[in-house]
């Protein structure tokens, strides 16, 4: 087992993982309260992979993720309250409420996006790496994707291009054993995903993604090879999401016992225990970490709640960069009620009412949120998972007392 | 046209180090249609990059490079192959600026030649102007002359929005005056060209059909005494609808010519916009002349029957004018 880093680093790792855990639990709860809409993919259980990776990246390195990236942004330093505001669809969200849970973005921290299409982030990451290479910069792009993405055409295409052009890129497979509800054995002919890019000349390793220190070591080496040798590699991190694929997942594809088994390897609990046993962190620190996470997440919810909904007249903002707009970019923006025609007065009353009600682009700002179970991500007739009240983080409670070295 | 497009890229590459080219066989092979001829020699492999046959990843890499501060010009060998890259074009290039709320831009130009007439059959003869014009976030250019091709391509490369730049394979050999004053002749997107003035009927044509429209207008004048106004929109997003509407308000009749399929086509869209915006000015239904609603057949006789020609446009214009001549 790899050695623990210094006490300060251990504290920071535990703090980040705990913050993400607490954030995700709260996000799940807020989703059940209909504060957050759409799909919600939680990373509970995957914190060590996320935090371990981000913790060995430089500020100038790019991180590109999937649709499960609340934690990735937070690990990069994005304010949890801005991520929460994005989930709430508010103006202070990371994407001003345009992106939602699957599309978190923070350019300043070089978190270059959550992406909703499986595998869609792979070539984009290659492009970012190419931009660094082209400009003669030192930055490495870390591209994280799930086991499911390894079956997309983008996987083969991007691996080939990355190796061919010797791009400064590092690939990390967050293997949580399921592509949605289909297990790796049932979706990939090659179940050792670290070997899947070997044909392109990209070697790979497998690590325990529940061990934040092992993740740090594996990722640091991968980033080093990308930075110093321009050699892309794949690291397969075994991890596990305790919750469903999304909040609307009935979890018929796995046994309760399996989830319990993985919970016993909880990355946060295990790391806290190890730090305590090694005398690196004490109960005071662990308690402090827990309290701070609680505080920041509470603050995040309050912030998101207080943040205004986007104004309706911002609907077309940022669709285009408009310096010297000639012509009609968005047809209905220039003519928001096209059905009115030339002479509004002569229109039948019913058509006029429709146009006034915004029929042209059907805005429904105050309407109820549709049930995600009806939106196609879940099997028909299945209720979304209901988060249990009091389902608190196992992080701190069971950690015994000890002093930080 | 071919040289005009090449010069546009070369000039922009000389002007801005961030501009580079990526595509299948654009370097050593000098381009499937020889548009990038000589560019590898001048700029080297770093800036003229031959890629594997991986359309979605080529475009996606362009998206990422654009987000990283470069100005990639991606060549997809033909419009047809752009279907393999639709995920990156629609879900990523077009959506990213909006879904990340302007935090990042995608200054990416994607060139793709298309159109029929070369007996290339169903998978190599598409016209997808209608498909791309439908996507918010994209700009769509479809130049018909060498001068416009050069000016629009330079403008596309400098634009901060993702641009779909559609070229017509039949127009590559077309000759025409190209202003040789470097930056002086930058064309703005969203400015239509009135190719011919007339008061009887408005004919709108794009790409190769802009020329067919002009030929038809000459025939209408010579053989039928009809003065047609011919408009080439040059870009479909943004669309210079005002110029088209002004013309229709004057002529009260419109014919739209395109090579693509009729259902939901460029003409269908323009006809709707004209009807919505200038219904009271119309003296006849808007006429459309489109490619046939079939996959492009190989046999020359059938292929030519599937593509609009001058006589179809003349017929449509006369139909619009029926009863008023």
C-alpha A132 chain-centroid distance: 23
Check if the beta carbon of residue B121 is closer than 8 Å to that of residue A156: no
* Residue ranges of B 265-294 with Cβ closer than 8 A to chain A: 273, 276-281
**B80 with B54: CB under 8 angstroms?**
no
Contact B84, B56 (CB under 8 A): yes
Rounded mean pLDDT, A76-102: 97
Q: Reply yes or no on whether B124 is catalytic.
A: yes
Residue A333: what pLDDT?
65
Answer yes or no: are the C-beta atoms of A126 and B64 closer than 8 Å. Answer: yes
CB proximity under 8 Å: B 14-73 to A: 20, 46, 49, 51-52, 54, 56-70, 72
B266-319 pLDDT, tens digit each: 999 999 999 988 999 999 999 999 999 999 999 999 999 999 999 999 999 999
Q: Is B239 in Cβ contact with A327 (below 8 Å)?
A: yes
Beta-carbon separation of B65 and A134 below 8 A: yes
Sign of the dihedral defined by the CA atoms of residues B43, A140, A113, A378, in that order: positive
Mean pLDDT score of chain A: 85
> Token pair of A122, please?
């792979």
Residues A328 and A250 in one domain: no
Which residues are within 8 A (CB) of A88 and not within 5 positions of it... i.e. 6 or more apart?
A: A30, A35, A36, A97, A304, A305, A307
Q: Does B133 touch chain A (CB under 8 A)?
A: no
Task: For residues B160-173, give the mean pLDDT.
Answer: 97
Together in a domain, A17 and A66: yes
Active site residue B118: no
Helices (H) and strands (E) in chain A, counts: 13, 7
Higher-pLDDT residue of A358 and B110 is B110
Residue A175 lies in a domain: yes
Q: Is B88 on the interface with A (CB under 8 A)?
A: yes
Residue A332 shares a structural domain with residue A228: no
Interior angle at CA A272, CA A206 and CA A214, nearest 5? 15
The mean pLDDT of B166-178, rounded to a whole number, is 95
Closest residue in chain A to residue B159, using alpha carbons only: A321
A95/B60 touch (CB, cutoff 8 Å), yes or no: no
Q: Determine the Cα–Cα distance for residues A115 and A272; give it in Å rounded to an integer.
A: 32
The predicted pLDDT at position A379 comes to 40
Q: Closest Cα of chain B to A336: distance in Å?
A: 12
Residues A191, A109, single domain; the answer is yes
| B204, B229 Cβ separation under 8 angstroms | no
Q: Which residues of B256-271 are buried (b: 16+ CB within 10 A; e: fewer)?
A: bbbbbbbeebbbbbbb
pLDDT tens, B93-142?
Answer: 999 999 999 999 999 999 999 999 999 999 999 999 999 999 999 999 99
Same domain, yes or no: A271 and A334: no
Asked if residue A223 has pLDDT above 90, the reply is yes
Contact B232, B216 (CB under 8 A): no
Out of A107, A160, A325, closest to residue B52 by CB: A160
Domain that holds residue A342: 312-364
pTM, 2 dp? 0.88
What is the C-alpha separation between B6 and B45, in angstroms, rounded? 17
Task: Dump the DSSP string for A83-114.
Answer: HHHHHTT-TTSTTTTSS-TT---BGGGTB---
CB-nearest partner of B64 from A127, A164, A328 = A127
> Across the beta sheet with B254-257, what order do the strands follow?
B193-196, B228-232, B201-205, B254-257, B287-289
User: What is residue A348's predicted lDDT score, i.e. its pLDDT?
Assistant: 52
Token representation of residue A317? 């903002």
CA proximity to A154, closest of B164, B108, B59: B59
Give A-chain residues touching B159 at CB under 8 angstroms. 321
Chain B, nearest residue to A109 by Cα: B103
Given pLDDT bands bounded at 50, 70 and 90, which one contains residue A350? Answer: low
Q: Quick check: B190 and A122 CB within 8 A? A: no
Could you say which residues from 107 to 126 on chain B have a Cβ atom under 8 Å away from some Cβ of chain A? none
Spatial separation of the C-alpha atoms in residues A148 and B47, rounded to whole Å: 34
A98 neighbourhood in chain B, CB within 8 Å: 98-101
CB B61 within 8 A of CB A59: no
Domain identity same for A255 and A286: yes
Whether A331 and A358 share a structural domain? yes
Number of domains in chain A: 2
| CATH at A231 | 3.40.50.970
Q: What is d(CA B59, CA B74) in angstroms, rounded to the nearest whole number?
A: 7
Pick the CATH number of B193-321 from 3.40.50.1970, 3.40.50.920, 1.20.140.10, 3.60.20.10: 3.40.50.920
Considering only the beta carbons, identify the residue of B70, B160, B190 that sits closest to A134.
B70
Question: A129: which chain B residues are within 8 Å (Cβ-Cβ)?
Answer: 64
Query: For A140-151, what is each residue's pLDDT tens digit?
Result: 999 999 999 999
Considering just the CA atoms, what is the radius of gyration of chain A in Å? Answer: 23
The Cα–Cα gap between A240 and A235 comes to 16
User: Which pLDDT score is estimated for B184?
Assistant: 59
Report how far apart the first and last C-alpha atoms of chain B are (Å, whole number): 38
Q: What local confidence, expressed as pLDDT, does residue A242 receive?
A: 87
Q: Is the pLDDT of residue A363 over 60?
A: no
Rounded CA-CA distance B255/B230 in Å is 10
Q: For residue B161, give the nearest of A117, A160, A321 by CB distance.
A: A321
CA B172 to chain centre: 13
* Alpha-carbon span A190 to B91, nearest angstrom: 29
Opening angle at CA B27, ends B23 and B33, nearest 5: 75
ipTM of the complex as predicted: 0.93
Cβ-proximal residues to A101 (8 Å cutoff; 6+ apart), any chain = A27, A36, A38, A39, A40, A41, A67, A70, A86, A87, A114
Among residues B12, B24, B55, B229, which one is catalytic? B55
Nearest-neighbour CA in chain B from A143: distance (Å): 12
Residue of B nearest to A121 (CA): B60
**Regarding the domain with residue range B2-185, which homologous superfamily does it belong to in the CATH classification?**
Thiamin diphosphate (ThDP)-binding fold, Pyr/PP domains (3.40.50.970)
Radius of gyration of chain B from its Cα atoms, rounded to whole angstroms: 20
Cis peptide before B238 (omega within 30 of 0): yes
Quick one: A202 and A260 in the same domain? yes
Cβ distance B100 to A128 less than 8 Å, yes or no, reads no
Residue with tokens 């957050």: A36
B240 touches chain A (CB under 8 A): yes
What pLDDT was estimated at residue B275? Answer: 93
B226 within 8 A of B318, measured Cβ to Cβ: yes
What is the average per-residue pLDDT within A277-297? 95
Among B86, B100, B232, most A C-beta atoms within 10 A, so best to mutate, is: B100
Q: Nearest-CA distance from A277 to chain B in Å?
A: 44
Asked whether this chain's domains B2-185 and B193-321 adopt the same fold, the reply is yes
Q: Are strands B193-196 and B48-50 parallel, antiparallel or unpaired?
A: unpaired
Model confidence at A392: pLDDT above 50: no
Domain range annotation of chain B: 2-185, 193-321
- Whether residues B91 and A116 touch (CB distance < 8 A) is answered with yes
% of residues, chain B, pLDDT over 70: 98
Is the pLDDT at A351 greater than 60? The verdict is: no
All residues at 6 or more sequence positions from B223 whose CB lies less than 8 Å from its CB, including other chains: B314
């Amino acid at each position: 087992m790899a050695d623990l880093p210094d006490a300060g680093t251990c504290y920071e790792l535990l703090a980040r993982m705990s913050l993400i855990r607490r954030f995700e639990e709260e996000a799940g709860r807020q989703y059940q309260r209909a504060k957050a809409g759409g799909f919600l993919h939680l990373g509970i259980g995957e914190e060590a992979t996320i935090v371990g990776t981000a913790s060995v990246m430089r500020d100038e390195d790019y991180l590109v993720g999937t649709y499960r990236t609340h934690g990735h942004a937070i690990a990069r330093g994005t304010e949890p309250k801005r991520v929460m505001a994005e989930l709430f669809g508010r103006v202070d969200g990371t994407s001003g409420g345009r992106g939602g849970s699957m599309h978190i973005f923070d350019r300043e921290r070089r978190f270059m996006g959550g992406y909703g299409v499986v595998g869609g982030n792979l070539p984009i990451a290659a492009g970012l790496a190419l931009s660094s290479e082209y400009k003669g910069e030192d930055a490495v792009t870390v591209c994280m994707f799930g086991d499911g993405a390894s079956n997309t055409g983008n996987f083969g295409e991007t691996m080939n291009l990355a190796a061919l052009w010797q791009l400064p890129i590092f690939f990390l497979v967050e293997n949580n054993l399921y592509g949605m509800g289909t297990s790796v054995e049932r979706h990939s002919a090659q179940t050792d995903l670290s070997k899947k890019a070997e044909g392109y000349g990209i070697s790979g390793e497998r690590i325990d993604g529940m061990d934040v220190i092992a993740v740090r070591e594996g990722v640091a080496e991968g980033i080093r090879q990308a930075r110093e040798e321009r050699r892309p590699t794949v690291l397969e991190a075994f991890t596990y999401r305790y919750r469903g694929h999304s909040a609307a997942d009935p979890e018929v594809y796995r046994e309760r016992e399996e989830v319990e088994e993985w919970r016993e390897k909880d990355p946060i609990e295990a790391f806290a225990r190890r730090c305590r046993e090694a005398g690196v962190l004490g109960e005071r620190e662990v308690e402090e970490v827990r309290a701070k996470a609680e505080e920041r997440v509470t603050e995040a919810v309050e912030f998101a709640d207080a943040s205004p909904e986007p104004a309706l007249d911002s609907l077309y903002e940022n669709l285009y960069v408009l310096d010297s707009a000639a012509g009609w970019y968005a047809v209905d923006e220039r003519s928001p009620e096209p059905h009115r025609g030339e002479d509004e007065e002569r229109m039948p009353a019913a058509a006029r009412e429709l146009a006034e009600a915004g029929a042209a682009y059907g805005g429904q700002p105050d309407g109820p949120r549709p049930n995600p179970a009806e939106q196609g991500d879940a099997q028909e007739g299945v209720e979304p998972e209901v988060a249990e009240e009091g389902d608190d983080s196992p992080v701190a409670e069971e950690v015994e007392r000890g002093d930080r070295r | 046209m071919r040289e005009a497009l090449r010069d546009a890229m070369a000039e922009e590459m000389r002007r801005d180090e961030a501009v580079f080219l990526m595509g299948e066989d654009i370097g050593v092979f000098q381009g499937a249609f020889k548009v990038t001829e000589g560019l590898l020699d001048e700029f080297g492999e770093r800036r003229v990059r031959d890629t594997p046959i991986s359309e979605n990843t080529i475009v996606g890499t362009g998206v990422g490079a654009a987000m990283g501060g470069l100005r990639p010009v991606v060549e997809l060998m033909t419009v047809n192959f752009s279907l393999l890259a639709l995920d990156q074009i629609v879900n990523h290039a077009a959506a990213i600026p909006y879904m990340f709320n302007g935090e990042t831009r995608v200054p990416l130009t994607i060139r793709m030649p298309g159109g029929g007439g070369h007996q290339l059959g169903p998978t190599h003869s598409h016209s997808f102007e209608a498909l791309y014009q439908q996507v918010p976030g994209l700009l769509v250019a479809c130049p018909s002359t060498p001068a416009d091709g050069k000016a629009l391509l330079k403008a596309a490369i400098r634009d901060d929005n993702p641009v779909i730049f559609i070229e017509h394979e039949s127009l590559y050999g077309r000759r025409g005056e190209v202003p040789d004053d470097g930056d002086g002749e930058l064309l703005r997107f969203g400015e239509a060209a009135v190719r011919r003035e007339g008061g009887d009927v408005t004919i709108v044509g794009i790409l190769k059909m802009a020329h067919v429209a002009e030929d038809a207008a000459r025939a209408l004048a010579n053989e039928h005494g009809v003065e047609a106004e011919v408009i080439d929109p040059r870009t479909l997003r943004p669309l210079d609808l005002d110029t088209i509407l002004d013309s229709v308000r004057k002529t009260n009749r419109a014919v739209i010519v395109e090579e693509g399929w009729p259902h939901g086509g460029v003409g269908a869209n323009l006809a709707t916009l004209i009807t919505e915006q200038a219904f009271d000015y119309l003296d006849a239904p808007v006429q459309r002349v489109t490619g046939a609603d079939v996959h492009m057949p190989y046999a020359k006789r059938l292929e030519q029957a599937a593509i609009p020609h001058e006589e179809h446009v003349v017929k449509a214009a006369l139909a619009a004018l029926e009863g008023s001549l």
